[in-house]
Structure 1
Amino acid sequence: MKRTLMAAVSVTAMTAALAACGTGDDGSGSSGGGGSSDSLTVWLMDGSAPESWVTELNQAFEAEHGVKVNVQIQQWDGIQERLTTALSEDGTVDVMEIGNTQTVGYANTGGLAELDAFADQPWNQNMLAAAEVDDTLYAVPWYGANRVVIYDKKIWEEAGAEVPTTRDEWVTALETIRDNTDAEPIYLPGQSYYVLGGFIADEGGSFAVEDGDAWKGSLNTPEGRAGMDFYAELQSFSNSPKDNDEASPQQSIDVVPGGNVASWIGLGWEANGAITAIEGEDGSKGEADFGYFPVPGKTADQLGHVFLGGSNLALNQRAGNPEAAEEWLTLATSQEWAQKFVDAQNGGVVPNRTDVTASPEAGSFAEAMVASADVGFLPPLTTGWANVETVPNPIKELMTKSLNGDDYASAAEAADAEITTRINRE
């Protein structure tokens, strides 16, 4: 049977710091040794969870089970290679955090243990889809995160712009800023393709769709064109080149701190990065006065779709201590500890369970982010989706061509052909 997965992009950084718990963590990402009868090795990604939560959780686990937990912090850079190696060896790691786009690949190689015993928990359904392959659970959701619109309150007040609740109001606000200030109304690179994906999802479309036992690109469609048309309308208010993405230059630390950017679309870690760059580590350089609102939808009663990133937790099929690993995963993702995790993040993550609530501070990034969680979109993926995202990314190339005035249908047809070839190549 063909294995498929609806997956979301990995969150490459979160804002809370995670320090080592247990033994063996020097911050280098060293794999170390796996669990034994009296120890357990857990890999967590740098920045994913607050130190206080990890410490308290492991103390509770060790007190109940008499098993020492060795948390080893991994960096996102190069993690796929390290995971591939670890999953091919006996007893290297027991429990691991895996970015959503990675889950299907490791499940398909047989590296992950089946977790059907966890299936009856009240998981967030959007996140659950990123952990299942052919209705078999190979990971459990841990947290999610998505983009919101970040705006400079001072510039918006100076312009007389109102926070929008619809796409049309959003465009009106950008026009008001353009006409009444010298600020750039929105910084939107030409190739922010996950932002585009949300606009296509608003129209009921997707980057690719299933075609029998395979997949095919679906950008040369009315939905794809409509999503790109709205993206182009927003991008017309930006001074950004049409052939770069949000990471080059990094919008949060290389562009926004330069000033005079009225708004941009970003993740929580980007917002915090911009604040630190503007204010300095000790707040002595100045003040960043940002406001936040969810990406508006076509109508006021439906927010815009946003790409729901995040991480799952999984068990190594070749774990050194599989029983303890399952007990640790059970505790870490229980209602009690999932709620503590969200609380420790100050509501700054999307909860993994429906019986967990996020209560972010009013007016915060987290408040805007959590509001959009129910309309998070997950691009259709197989293992071959990673081939689509490699350079040169055909979706990015389409966006630049379209923004430069090329015929959309011709450019989208070429992009679809390339997506179809790549996504079906494992």
Structure 2
Amino acid sequence: MKRLTKLVAGAAAIALATAGCAGSGGGSSDSSGSGDKTLTVWLMSGSAPDTLTDALNKEFEAANSGVTVKYEVQEWGGIQDKLTTALASQDPPDVIELGNTLTPSFSADGVLTDLSGDVADLNGDQWLASLKQSGEWDGKDYATPFYAANRVVLYRTDMFQQAGITATPTSRQEWLDAITKLKATFGSDPQFQPLYLPGQNWYSLLSFIYDEGGNIAEKDGKEFKATVNSPEAKAGLEFYKQLVDASGTTAPKDNDEQNPEQAGIYGQGKVAMMIALPWEVGTAAKDNPDIEKNTSAFPIPSKTAGKTAPVFQGGSNLAIPVNSKNPELAKAYLKLLLSDKYQSQLAEAGMVPGASTDLSALDANPVSKAMAAASKSGNAAPATPKWGTVEAGQNPLKDMMTAYLTGAKDLDTATNDANTALDAAFSG
């Protein structure tokens, strides 16, 4: 999940300050069971506010005499290689954060501790389903959810008002109707776009596929089989094209939402809507401070009136390396971090907590409130160790979208070719 490997492998896109310093390596001192001990914790940059981690570490040390938490903040760039090296060593950190699309690979490699017997102690009855799936491998739990995020439709409240749109869309048809009204009001400006939608925003495409009852892959035993050529997936791709065509967006059909950065385009003041992550409002406001006060959000609408479309959720998990010198202390640390007390603080910081069903703190902001509403129906990427190669390489979903949107391939050819490429990646 490339965008959510930035964010929360997914998370780094959240602009929150973090405590600590860049990681200097693993290591837990004095594992003999007596004397002082050091618990090394690696969390990612942007994952948790320093107010949370400062209080958490202080409380944990107070409750565990002689224990010092060595808290180290890691950067997302190069983290997969760094974790690979650390987890293969005999002296890894004791607690680590993993992007949810990286988790299956490390689980399958046997370098993470089996937490199946500890789920109940780790607030397991409240785990976010999409992240729980990514922490499971071969019937066992190797990671716990930490937090997640999903996309919403960011929109200009002032433009909606001027166009006479009195209520946010609650169905696909209402969404299309809003686009028509916006074009009628502002269409004389050649730079205006009612919806900015790049051709390769496959995270958004997944919402439409899910909404049709489809997916990009299904589990077959321990393996995954691609399903992007199913009737449901095809219907989702057709609606994506309908949105692109209806909006007349000038976004490139052969690139994603980061090239160029869509928040920057939105910030120029000529775009009424974009499908985005909540913190992209802040990115847009860097060049246009006034835009934040005129921006709100609504969940991606379903084809069924009054419902929201299921969303792709990126996020982070927490795990304990199998070679940790202090596995019981590490489990106690996870128990505290996953408690309602600290999960509620994640929600207050604008994230969907991974181990709490209480999302009320997200209601304080209309954008995060929309994310919370949509998050109740979330899915993750296929929980296969091979998914990382899909995103890191020539993503077949992106190729499929560009080919269909540009007319280079018809619907059947584009989806069949993507299906073949995904199956090759899953089995390669």
TM-score, length-scaled by structure 2: 0.89
Is 2:262 aligned against 1:258?
no
Which runs of structure 2 are paired with 1:196-275 in the superposition (5 Å)? 196-211=205-220, 214-236=223-245, 237=247, 238-253=249-264, 255-275=265-285
2:424 to 418, 421, 425: 421
Cα separation, 1, equivalents of 2:26 and 2:98: 18
Q: Distance in 1 between matches of 2:58 and 2:106?
A: 30
Q: Give, in angstroms, the shift of residue 39 of structure 1.
A: 0.9
Matched, 1:15 2:14: yes
Identify the residue that residue 73 of structure 1 maps to in structure 2: 73
Q: Corresponding residue for 2:161?
A: 157
Alpha-carbon distance, 1:259 to partner: 2.1
For 2:305, the equivalent position in structure 1 comes to: 300
How has the CA–CA distance of structure 1 residues 277 and 321 changed in structure 2, closer, same or farther, with 3 Å as cutoff?
farther
Cα distance change, pair 415–19 in 1 and its aligned pair in 2 (3 A): closer
- Aligned-pair distance for 1:172? 0.4
State how 1:2-401 maps to structure 2 within 5 Å.
10-21=9-20, 25=21, 27=22, 29-31=23-25, 33-36=27-30, 37-66=36-65, 67-120=67-120, 121-122=124-125, 123-161=127-165, 162-181=167-186, 182=189, 183-211=192-220, 214-236=223-245, 237=247, 238-253=249-264, 255-279=265-289, 288-343=293-348, 345=349, 348-354=350-356, 356-362=358-364, 364-401=366-403
Q: Which runs of 5+ in 1 are unaligned?
A: 1-6, 280-284
- 8 A contact 1:335–1:355 mirrored in 2: no
Deviations 1:387-425 (A, max 9, x none): 222332111111011111221101211111111111112
Instruction: Assess if the C-alpha contact under 8 Å between 1:308 and 1:378 holds in 2.
Output: yes
C-alpha displacement of 1:342: 2.5
State the secondary structure of the residue aligned to 1:101: coil
Q: Give CA deviations for 1:56-113 in whole Å, capped at 9, x if unaligned.
A: 1111100110211111111111110000011011223110011100111111111100
Larger helix proportion of the pair: 2
Q: Give 1:355 shift.
A: 5.0
Distance 1:416 1:287, change over 3 A: closer
Change (3 A) 1:9 1:58: closer
The 1-side partners of 2:147 and 2:292 are apart by 30
- Of 168-177 and 263-272, the range deviating more from structure 2: 263-272
Q: Secondary structure at the match of 1:149?
A: strand
Question: CA distance change for structure 1 residues 49 and 78 in 2, over 3 Å: closer, same or farther?
Answer: same
Deviation digits for residues 187-212 of structure 1 (CA, Å, limit 9, x no counterpart): 00000011111111111111122346
Q: Which moved more, 1:330-339 or 1:414-423?
A: 330-339
Matched-pair contact (CA < 8 Å) for 1:278–1:288: no
State which drifts further: 36-45 or 138-147: 36-45
Q: Percent identity?
A: 38
Tell me what 1:4 maps to. Answer: none
* d(CA) in 2 for partners of 1:31, 1:383: 25
Q: What SS does structure 2 have at the residue aligned with 1:277?
A: coil
1:40 aligns to what SS in structure 2?
strand
Q: Closer, same or farther in 2 for the Cα pair 1:146/1:327, shift >3 Å?
A: same
Kindly tell me: are residues 124 and 392 of structure 1, through their superposed partners in 2, closer, same or farther at Cα, counting changes over 3 Å?
closer
Give the CA RMSD over aligned residues.
2.1
- TM-score (structure 1 length as normaliser): 0.90
Sort the Cα spacing of 1:246 and 1:374 in 2 relative to 1 into closer, same or farther, 3 A. same
Gaps of 5+ in 2: 31-35
3-state SS in 1 of match to 2:170 = coil
Amino acid in the other structure paired with 1:190: G
For residues 272-321 of structure 1, give each alpha carbon's deviation from its aligned partner in whole angstroms, at most 9, with x where no partner exists. 21123322xxxxx7765101101011123321111111111110111132
Q: Residue 102 of structure 2 aligns to a residue in which SS?
A: helix
Q: Residues 261, 357 of structure 1: CA spacing in aligned structure 2 closer, same or farther, 3 A cutoff?
A: closer
Residue type at the aligned position of 1:294: P
- Residues 186/217 of structure 1: CA separation in 2 closer, same or farther (3 Å cut): same
Q: State the SS of the aligned residue for 2:153.
A: strand
Cα distance in 2 for partners of 1:306, 1:213 equals: 24
363 and 39 in structure 1: CA distance in 2 versus 1, 3 angstrom threshold: closer
Question: Which piece of structure 1 moves more, 203-212 or 95-104?
Answer: 203-212
Aligned counterparts of 1:246 and 1:415: Cα–Cα separation in 2: 20
Determine if the alignment matches structure 1 residue 410 to structure 2 residue 413. Answer: yes
Tell me the CA shift for residue 324 of structure 1: 1.6
CA contact (8 A) 1:144 1:352 kept: yes
CA deviation profile, 1:320-374 (whole Å, cap 9, x unmatched): 322221211111112233223323x1xx221223453432245521100000111
User: Does the 8 A contact of 2:172 with 2:303 survive in 1?
Assistant: yes
Equivalent-residue separation in structure 2 for 1:363 and 1:356 (angstroms): 15
Structure-2 separation of matches of 1:341 and 1:416: 37
Contact 2:344–2:356, Cα closer than 8 Å, also in 1:
no
Q: Deviations over 1:105-161 (max 9, x none)?
A: 111111100112332231222321121112211011111110000011122222223
In 2 relative to 1, CA 362–160 (structure 1 residues): closer, same or farther, beyond 3 Å? farther
**Does the C-alpha gap of structure 1 residues 360 and 211 become closer, same or farther in structure 2, counting only changes over 3 Å?**
closer
Q: Partner of 2:33 in structure 1? A: none
